[in-house]
Structure formats: structure tokens, C-alpha cells
Chains A and B, each alone.
Chain A
Amino acid sequence: AQSVTQLDSHVSVSEGTPVLLRCNYSSSYSPSLFWYVQHPNKGLQLLLKYTSAATLVKGINGFEAEFKKSETSFHLTKPSAHMSDAAEYFCVLLSGGYNKLIFGAGTRLAVHP
């Protein structure tokens, strides 16, 4: 079965400190993985995607993620948090041949001054 587990429901950091949002996946196939961000009252926005090319993927707003097959992980990081990064983040697995997305439960990131 294909699934996504986000290991933290809430993460709180201070502005200017590093961000780490953890994600593990389960897939019978070589996976395609994404991170989406959801700001309050706004639509989901794609941050970055992994599709079997380079294992270190760079996204928008300074975020990046590293695909580790041996650990079945796809953690999201950012060297220095900004207040505007406060949002809900979803790790997402592409399932099957019809572009079906399987979402994790989400991690709410809070950034404190």
C-alpha cells in the first residue's frame, strides 16, 4: 500500500533558525514526491517535487528536500526561517498512472520573532 507519514503535526521555530519538517513514505514503485504549502485561506501551492532525478531538490522560497531511498524519507528543510513561512505543509506521494496524489496529514509550522 502507498502512504505518507508526516512525523510532526506541529513544529515551532524562531525566526532565523533552521526548519526541518519530516516525512516518510511507503511505495511499491519508484516514487514521485512533492511538498505543498497551504497558507490560511489560500490554495495549496507546490514548493518542490522529486521525480527520480537529483536526490536533493530545491524549491521556492529557499526550501529544499532530500530523497533518501534507504530511509524512505523526504524531509523538507530551510536554513533560516522567516515569519512568512508560517503555514501548513503537506508531504505528498504520487500514486498510480493517473496523477493521483496521496497527502500526509500535514505539519503546521509556527515561526516566532
Chain B
Amino acid sequence: EAGVAQSPRYKIIEKRQSVAFWCNPISGHATLYWYQQILGQGPKLLIQFQNNGVVDDSQLPKDRFSAERLKGVDSTLKIQPAKLEDSAVYLCASSLRTGQSKGPYEQYFGPGTRLTVT
């Protein structure tokens, strides 16, 4: 089966510019996650969607970051305006669903988008 797709793979922008990342999850996966991985650290969850509703966005810097998942499939993560500290790899993951009644459900990760802000 096809994995999680992300684009672009690399992006270089100047501070105060805006940028958008795209993610296409595995077909049939209801839950989609965006993570930020700063160099030398483990990934940190930014936002989690269940279908097209937000389950958790407690660690999303809402003054500059936004995300949407229209129609419960593809998702876009946007940063506007970017700061130097936003330089990181942005990972998208998906799982069949969330909750633990029959889980946990394995999360499958995409290859990530490496963002460099200069």
C-alpha cells in the first residue's frame, strides 16, 4: 500500500515569509498528525485531526501556525510569518483512528519536509 506522502521535501525561506506543507495520508486512515522535529530533538506533536475535526492542538503556536484537513483526507500546515526558530523537519503521520478501545493504533510517518528559515 502507498505510504504517507508529503511535499515539498525541502524548503528554504527568509524570516517573515510564509510557507505551506502538504500531506496525503494512507487511504482510509481517519487520524492525521503533524509533528515538528527540531535538529537533535524528538518529534513534537503540533496538531491531531480525527477526520476533519481537531482532536489536539495544544502545542500549535496559533499566532503563526495554522492547519486544516478539508474533507477528512489531505491536510495543509501553514506558517505565517516564519521565524528562525521554525527551522525543523515537519512530519506528517496517519493512523486508522484514534482512541484506545482497540488500540493503540500504529502511526505511519511520511518522509518529512525540511524547512530552513534564513
Count of chain A to chain B residue pairs whose CB atoms are closer than 8 Å in the complex: 63
Instruction: State in angstroms the CA–CA spacing of A42 and B9 once bound together.
Output: 11
Does A99 lie at the interface of the complex (its beta carbon under 8 Å from any beta carbon of B)? yes
Does A77 lie at the interface of the complex (its beta carbon under 8 Å from any beta carbon of B)? no
Enumerate A92-110 residues with CB–CB distance to B below 8 Å: 92, 94, 97-101, 103-106
Q: Mark A35-73, 1 if CB is under 8 A from B, else 0.
A: 000000111111001010000000000000000000000
**Quick check: A43 and B104 within 8 Å, CB to CB?**
no
Instruction: State in angstroms the CA–CA spacing of A49 and B107 once bound together.
Output: 12
**Quick check: B99 and A44 within 8 Å, CB to CB?**
no
**Quick check: B111 and A42 within 8 Å, CB to CB?**
yes
Does A74 lie at the interface of the complex (its beta carbon under 8 Å from any beta carbon of B)? no
**Quick check: A101 and B45 within 8 Å, CB to CB?**
yes
**Quick check: B104 and A32 within 8 Å, CB to CB?**
yes
Q: Which of A32, A46, A103 has the most CB of B within 10 A?
A: A103
Q: Mark B79-118, 1 if CB is under 8 A from A, else 0.
A: 0000000000001010100111001111111111000000
Does B56 lie at the interface of the complex (its beta carbon under 8 Å from any beta carbon of A)? yes
Measured CB to CB, the residues of B under 8 A from A are 3-4, 31, 40-45, 48, 50, 55-56, 91, 93, 95, 98-100, 103-112
